[in-house]
Structure 1
Amino acid sequence: MRNFERFGRILIPMITPFHSDDQSVDYRTARKVARYLKEHKLCDSIIVAGTTGEFHSLTKEERIRLFAEIKDEIGSELPLIAGVGAVSTKEVIEYVREAERLGYDAVMVVTPYYCKPEQEGIFEHYKMIAQSTQLPVMVYNIPLFTGVNLAPETLAKLSEIENIFAIKDEAGINPLQTTDYILATKGEIPVYSGDDTMVLQVLLQGGVGVVSGGSHVVGDLMRKSIESFLEGDVEAARKTFFSMYELFVAFKGEGRTNPTPLVKAAFELVSDLPTSMPRLPLKPATKSELERLKVVLKKLGKI
């Protein structure tokens, strides 16, 4: 298995704060968010400009500046992974070069979205990206948003590329795909759950951790659950997971597909940092969604 220990078990795709008046990026608060995550020991690594960071809503200039601001704030205190996903291979490589220049520790690349390429195109996409850099590359599979699934056979081919070090898979869509990935790659590529609600199921199949938006709020409990599982105390792991589950359900709000606005609202309630504003077309939490979050967070002792 490729070495994932440098990046740890819990990777947080950090939220991107926006000013409430004009929806511009609030870089000052972004620095504070990164510092909060580090000081409260909520994660092992930070992913900048992932899905929860609303990379899809950022301009190229905004994303690169965000990379720079967070690197300047955190330095080498935690591993930093740059979310460099884009529709075209060419654009991804441009982001990769910026991540290299700024001293990032790895990059995360979501499968190409909207264009719905064939598996051979997906393979060539990752191959060209990986060959363009010495940085470790995390593959990110989220068919719910991209419209394409990275097949286990494709990951097996990618496992021959040395600097592809892990995959983040949205396991809620295909709960057994972790097993398929591990069998296809002979256990070479570590699998992270991309779904908070699936972390124990992924660990049971041989996964190594989670890329967790919810850990902005419950990273301490997520760590407790994972450690209990790895120590063989499945009942303790399950009990801790159950304590978080109501929050994960609350993140879905009133029929939302994208939980980011609710994650941002919950983090604001817990941290008192102004982070709850998403960028349109995403809308902030409604009054009823906010009230439900408050109830759950009080149960957890977070507010």
Structure 2
Amino acid sequence: MNKFGRVLIPYLTPFDENEAVNYQAFAELIDYTIAQNYVDTVIVSGTTGEFNTLSFDERVKLFETAVRVVNNRKPIIAGTGCASTKETIALTQAAAQIGIETCLVVAPYYCRPTQEAVYEHYYRVAEAGGVDILLYNIPIFTGINMEPELVKRLAAHERIIGIKDEAGLNPVQITDFYLQTETVDPDFILYNGDDLMLMPTLAQGAAGIVSGGSLLVGDQVRKVFEAYHAGKVDESLAIYRRLFKLFKAFGLDGRLNPIPGLRAAVEIVTGIRIGNARGPLNGPNKEERQALICFLKAEEYI
């Protein structure tokens, strides 16, 4: 097993009623998940952390807070992807200066670049960043898919050590990535980034999962892996099916983005003041929140 483990948690960014970052609640959330043994690696300022709504300085302060609170208890990965290559390099270098050794860099978004442009983007970041890089493929949000041939080329760079794949429309792509990279870098790490795809990607050889839902059930997610690798596939599947219902519930009966539901669930279960998402995402309405509470009670999460 690599140093990051099975369960990598992308942390929510708590906000107060004025949408300012609540760094104290962020620290409390990290401590809570470590105390509960939910997390193998802490990820800061990823999609679940709403990096796209955060300023450069807010992201740096979150990195600093994580380093202070974690205090070498777990590995930390900083999400440093930005809209431009220049800013991505600058934020990656800032993370390196704080002492973070690995950064998660989302594929360029909104501008719909060519595969060659994506290669050049990552190459420049890997060359200048001063840290190891995890690629991050999430085409439903970026508008582009990182094709297996591109990932193979990038895997040849000594600083690019793996990928978080949330392909969505192509649930078997993680196998394509394996087949392309195994001869280039046998140690290239493949992580699934979709809670709902936990079991299918495990069966394809995913090393672990980047899981927002693990903020509440990281120990159970880890058991899915442990049971599977111990040959107890039926037990693994039974745990996964129960978790699947929870992960679906974050969608609040039809929302395209599960973050508002996840934020509410974490606040309800832990009592930590997570707050609503920063606009334009809006929080659950009264009916959505009540339905979520009823589900959490029925499934004995509260």
Instruction: Using structure 1 for the length normalisation, give the TM-score.
Output: 0.96
Q: Is residue 3 of structure 2 the alignment partner of residue 6 of structure 1?
A: yes
C-alpha spacing 1:232/1:240, structure 2 compared with 1 (3 Å): same
- Alignment of structure 1 residues 274-289 onto 2, 5 Å: 274-289=273-288
For 1:62 and 1:133, the matched residues in 2 are separated by 19
Aligned letter for 1:182? Y
Counterpart among 123, 127, 130 of residue 127 in structure 1: 123
Instruction: Give per-residue Cα distances to partners, 1:181-229, cap 9 Å, x unaligned.
Output: 0111125422111100111111111111100010011111111111111
Q: Is residue 103 of structure 2 the alignment partner of residue 104 of structure 1?
A: no
For 2:294 and 2:243, the matched residues in 1 are separated by 13
Instruction: Give per-residue Cα distances to partners, 1:225-275, cap 9 Å, x unaligned.
Output: 111111111100000011111111111113211111111111001110111
Moved more, 268-277 or 186-195: 186-195
Q: Answer whether contact 2:31 2:70 (CA < 8 A) is retained.
A: yes
Cα root mean square deviation, aligned: 1.2
Structure 2 match to 1:203:
202
Q: Is residue 39 of structure 2 the alignment partner of residue 39 of structure 1?
A: no
Residue 45 of structure 1: how far off its partner (Å): 0.5
Structure 1 match to 2:230:
231
- Alignment of structure 1 residues 236-247 onto 2, 5 Å: 236-247=235-246
Q: Answer whether contact 1:250 1:292 (CA < 8 A) is retained.
A: no
- Please state whether the residue corresponding to 1:108 is helix, strand or coil: strand
Q: Is residue 301 of structure 2 the alignment partner of residue 302 of structure 1?
A: yes
Structure 2 match to 1:19:
16
Instruction: Give per-residue Cα distances to partners, 1:139-161, cap 9 Å, x unaligned.
Output: 00000000000000000001111
- Moved segments of 4+, more than 3 Å: none
- Alignment of structure 1 residues 21-170 onto 2, 5 Å: 22-170=18-166
For 1:276 and 1:246, the matched residues in 2 are separated by 23
- Alignment of structure 1 residues 177-192 onto 2, 5 Å: 177-186=173-182, 187-192=186-191
Aligned letter for 2:2? E
For 1:71 and 1:296, the matched residues in 2 are separated by 35
Q: Which runs of 5+ in 2 are unaligned?
A: none
For 2:299 and 2:229, the matched residues in 1 are separated by 23
Percentage identity across paired residues of the two chains: 40
Q: Answer whether contact 2:60 2:94 (CA < 8 A) is retained.
A: yes
Aligned letter for 1:228? A
Instruction: Using structure 2 for the length normalisation, give the TM-score.
Output: 0.96
Aligned letter for 1:44? D
Instruction: Give per-residue Cα distances to partners, 1:119-169, cap 9 Å, x unaligned.
Output: 000011111111113422110000000000000000000111112111111
Structure 2 match to 1:215:
214
Aligned length: 299
Aligned letter for 1:162? E
For 1:216 and 1:239, the matched residues in 2 are separated by 20
